[in-house]
Structure 1
Amino acid sequence: MKPTPNAKTAAPLLAALSLALASAYPSAALAQSNEELLKELRALKDRVGQLEEKLKAAEQKAAAPSSAQWGMTPAQAQEFNRIAVKTEALEDSAEAMGTKNLKISGFIDPTYIYNRQNNSSSFQLLNKDAYAYDSGYFGMALIDFQKEMEGGTKWRLTLAPERGVGATFNTGSIVHEASVNIPLGDLQTRLWLGQIPDWTGYEMTLPPLNKLITHNLLFDFTAPTAYTGAALDLTRGKWLIRAGLANVNIARKSPGNKTPAFIYRVDYAKGEFQGFGFTGLHGKAYNYAADGVDANGDLRFADANGRDTRVDLLEADAYFIRGDWTVQGQISWGRQRGSAIFNEDGQLRDASWTGLSTLVGYKFIPRWEAVARMDYLRNAKNGGGLFGYSSDDSRNGLGRGGGFAWDAANPDPDTASKGANRYALTLGLNYLFNQNTIFKFEYRLDGANRAVFGNPSNGQWAKRNHLLGSSVVVSF
Structure 2
Amino acid sequence: MKLWQPTVLAQAALLALGASFASGAAAQSNADLVKEIQELKKRVAELEGKQKADAAAKPAAGQWGMTPEQAAEFNRIAVKTEAMEDARDAMGLKNLKISGYMDPTFIYNKRQDTAGFQFLNRVESDGYNYDNSYFGAAVLDFTKETDSGTRWRLTLAPNRGVGSVFDGNSPIHEASVSVPITDLQTRFIAGQLPDWSGYEYLQPTLNKLITHNLLFDFTLPTAYTGAGMEITSGKWIVKGVLANMNTSKKSSGNKTPVIAYRVDYAKGEFQGFGFAGVHGKAANFRADDGVGNPVTGLPYDLKDTRVDLLEGDAYFIRGDWTVQGQLSFGQQKNAAITADPTTGELRTAKWWGLSTLVAYKWDPRFETTARLDFINNKKNGGGLLGYNFADGRNGIGPDLAGDPEKGANRTALTLGAAYNFNLNTTFKVEYRIDRANLPVFLDVKDGSYSKTNQLFGASVLVFF
Q: TM-score, normalised by structure 1?
A: 0.86
1:246 aligns with 2:243: yes
User: Are the equivalent residues in 2 in contact too, given 1:292–1:301 (CA < 8 A)?
Assistant: no
Q: Which residue of 1 aligns with 2:25?
A: 23
1:185 counterpart SS class:
strand
CA distance in 2, matches of 1:365, 1:290: 52
> Which residue of 296, 299, 306 maps to 1:310?
306
Which residue of the partner structure matches residue 449 of structure 1? 437
Question: How many percent identity over aligned positions?
Answer: 58
Deviations 1:259-306 (Å, cap 9, x if unpaired)?
A: 11111100000011110000011111110112349xxx9547998x86
Do 1:291 and 1:302's aligned partners in 2 also have CA atoms closer than 8 Å? no
- Counterpart of 1:155? 152
Q: How does 1:326-475 map to 2 (within 5 A)?
A: 326-343=322-339, 345=341, 346-404=344-402, 415-475=403-463
Q: Which runs of 5+ in 1 are unaligned?
A: 26-53, 405-414
Counterpart of 2:197, as a letter, is: T
Are the aligned partners of 2:103 and 2:459 in contact in 1 as well (CA < 8 Å)? yes
Q: What are the superposed Cα offsets for residues 403-454 of structure 1, whole Å, 9 maximum, x if unpaired?
A: 33xxxxxxxxxx1110000000000000000000000000001001000100
2:84 equivalent to 1:82 = no
Q: Which amino acid is 1:449 matched to?
A: N
TM-score, reference length from structure 2: 0.88
1:72/1:272 CA distance change after superposition, 3 Å: same
Quick one: distance in 1 between partners of 2:253 and 2:96? 41
Which residue does the alignment assign to 2:35?
Answer: none
The aligned amino acid for 1:21 is S
**Residue number in structure 1 paired with 2:183:** 186
Distance 1:225 1:57, change over 3 A: farther
User: One-letter code of the match for 1:151?
Assistant: S
Q: Shift in Å at residue 86 of structure 1? A: 2.0
Cα separation, 2, equivalents of 1:166 and 1:401: 33
Aligned to 2:131: 134
CA distance, structure 1, for counterparts of residue 86 and residue 117 of structure 2: 46
Per-residue CA deviation, residues 141-191 of structure 1 (Å, 9 max, x unaligned), is: 000011001200000000001110110001200000000000002100001
Change (3 A) 1:198 1:143: same
Partner of 1:115: 109
| CA root-mean-square deviation | 2.7
The 1:302–1:136 alpha-carbon spacing in structure 2 relative to 1, beyond 3 Å, is: farther
Deviations 1:78-104 (A, max 9, x none): 333332222222211111111121111
Q: Secondary structure at the match of 2:288?
A: helix
Amino acid across the alignment from 1:426: T
2:59/2:66 contact within 8 Å kept: no
Name the SS of the counterpart of 1:22 in structure 2. helix
Distance 1:328 1:8 in 2: 81
**Residues 336, 350 of structure 1: 8 Å contact kept:** yes
Q: Is residue 103 from structure 1 mapped to residue 97 from structure 2 by the alignment?
A: yes
**Matched residue SS, 2:72:** helix
**Of residues 214, 221, 225 in structure 2, which corresponds to 1:217?**
214
Which amino acid in 1 is paired with 2:132?
Answer: S
Which residue of the partner structure matches residue 280 of structure 2?
A: 283
> 1:70: Cα distance to partner?
4.5
Distance in 1, matches of 2:146 and 2:446, equals 58
Relative to structure 1, is the Cα distance of residues 272 and 281 closer, same or farther in structure 2, using a 3 angstrom cutoff? same
Task: Note if contact 2:340-2:347 (Cα within 8 Å) is conserved in structure 1.
Answer: no
SS in 1 for 2:84: helix
Q: 1:301 to 1:394 in 2, by over 3 A?
A: farther
User: C-alpha distance in 1, partners of 2:442/2:229?
Assistant: 44
CA contact (8 A) 1:402 1:454 kept: no
- Residue 247 of structure 1, CA deviation: 0.5
Alignment match, 1:32: none
Greater shift, 343-352 or 7-16, is seen at 7-16
In structure 2, the partner of 1:93 is 87
CA distance in 2, matches of 1:7, 1:207: 80
In the other structure, the counterpart of 1:44 is none
Q: In structure 2, how many angstroms separate the alpha carbons of the residues matched to 1:271 and 1:397? A: 39
Paired residues, number: 434
Q: CA 1:194–1:60 in structure 2 vs 1: closer, same or farther (change >3 Å)?
A: farther
In 2, the alpha carbon distance for the partners of 1:184 and 1:473 equals 38
